[in-house]
Amino acid sequence: MLLHPTLESLKALRLFGMLHALEEQQQTAEWNALSFEERLGMLIDRERIEQENRSMTARLRRARLAKQASIEDVDLRAGRGLDRAAFLSLAQCVWIGQHHNVLITGPTGVGKSWLACAFGHRACREGYSVLYHRLSRLFTELSTARGEGRYLRLLKTLSQVELLIIDDWGLAPLTGDQLRDLLEILEDRHGRKSTLSTSQLPVEHWHEWLGEATLADAIMDRLVHNAHKITLKGDSLRKNLSKSLKLQ
- Reported residue count of the chain is 248
Q: Which residue has the higher pLDDT, 99 or 25?
A: 99
Whether residues 50 and 121 fall in one domain: no
Whether residues 183 and 216 fall in one domain: yes
In a domain, 248, yes or no: no
Whether residues 76 and 130 fall in one domain: yes
Lowest-confidence segment of 33-47, 86-100, 125-139 by average pLDDT:
33-47
Q: Give me the pLDDT at residue 236, please.
A: 65
Tell me the average pLDDT of the chain.
Answer: 86
Whether residues 229 and 184 fall in one domain: yes
Q: Which residue has the higher pLDDT, 50 or 230?
A: 230
Give me the percent of the chain exceeding a pLDDT of 90. 60
**If 0-12 CB within 10 Å is exposed, 13-18 middle and 19+ buried, where does residue 188 land?**
middle
Give me the percent of the chain exceeding a pLDDT of 70. 91
Position 124 pLDDT exceeds 70: yes
Structural domain count of the chain: 2
Q: Mapped to the 3 state alphabet, what secondary structure does 185-210 carry?
A: HHHHHCCCCEEEEEECCCHHHHHHHH
Q: Give me the pLDDT at residue 247, please.
A: 31
Last residue of a domain, one of 61, 79, 94: 61
Whether residues 30 and 70 fall in one domain: no
Lowest-confidence segment of 45-49, 142-146, 219-223 by average pLDDT:
45-49
Q: Give me the pLDDT at residue 2, please.
A: 55
Q: Give me the pLDDT at residue 78, please.
A: 55
Q: Which residue has the higher pLDDT, 93 or 11?
A: 93
**Cα angle: 184, vertex 142, 109; to 5 degrees:** 90
**If 0-12 CB within 10 Å is exposed, 13-18 middle and 19+ buried, where does residue 241 land?**
exposed
Q: Which of 70, 101, 125 is nearest to 198 (CA)?
A: 101
Q: Which residue has the higher pLDDT, 245 or 63?
A: 63
Whether residues 160 and 226 fall in one domain: yes
- Whole-angstrom CA distances from 189 to 130, 193, 212, 222, 242 are 13, 5, 21, 8, 40
Q: What is the secondary structure of 218-229 as a DSSP string? A: HHHHHHTTTEEE
Q: Give me the pLDDT at residue 239, please.
A: 54
Residue ranges making up the domain that contains 41: 3-61
The whole-model pTM stands at 0.79
**If 0-12 CB within 10 Å is exposed, 13-18 middle and 19+ buried, where does residue 42 land?**
middle
Position 209 pLDDT exceeds 70: yes
Average pLDDT over residues 198-227: 94
Position 192 pLDDT exceeds 70: yes
Q: Give me the pLDDT at residue 121, please.
A: 96
Sign of the torsion formed by the C-alpha atoms of 79, 80, 84 and 86: positive
Q: Give me the pLDDT at residue 48, please.
A: 78
Position 77 pLDDT exceeds 60: yes
111: left (phi over 0), alpha (psi -120 to 50) or beta: left
CA atoms within 13 A on the CB side of 225: 9
| 128-186 pLDDT, tens digit each | 999 999 999 999 999 999 999 999 999 999 999 999 999 999 888 999 999 999 999 99
* CB atoms closer than 10 angstroms to residue 15: 19
Q: Give me the pLDDT at residue 178, please.
A: 95
In a domain, 88, yes or no: yes
CB-CB contact of 106 with 233 (8 Å): yes
CB-CB contact of 163 with 193 (8 Å): yes
Whether residues 25 and 78 fall in one domain: no
CATH number at residue 126: 3.40.50.300
Helix or strand holding residue 56 (H, E): helix 36-63
How far is Cα 11 from Cα 147, in angstroms, rounded to an integer? 44
Whether residues 107 and 210 fall in one domain: yes
Q: Which of 60, 89, 102 is nearest to 193 (CA)?
A: 102
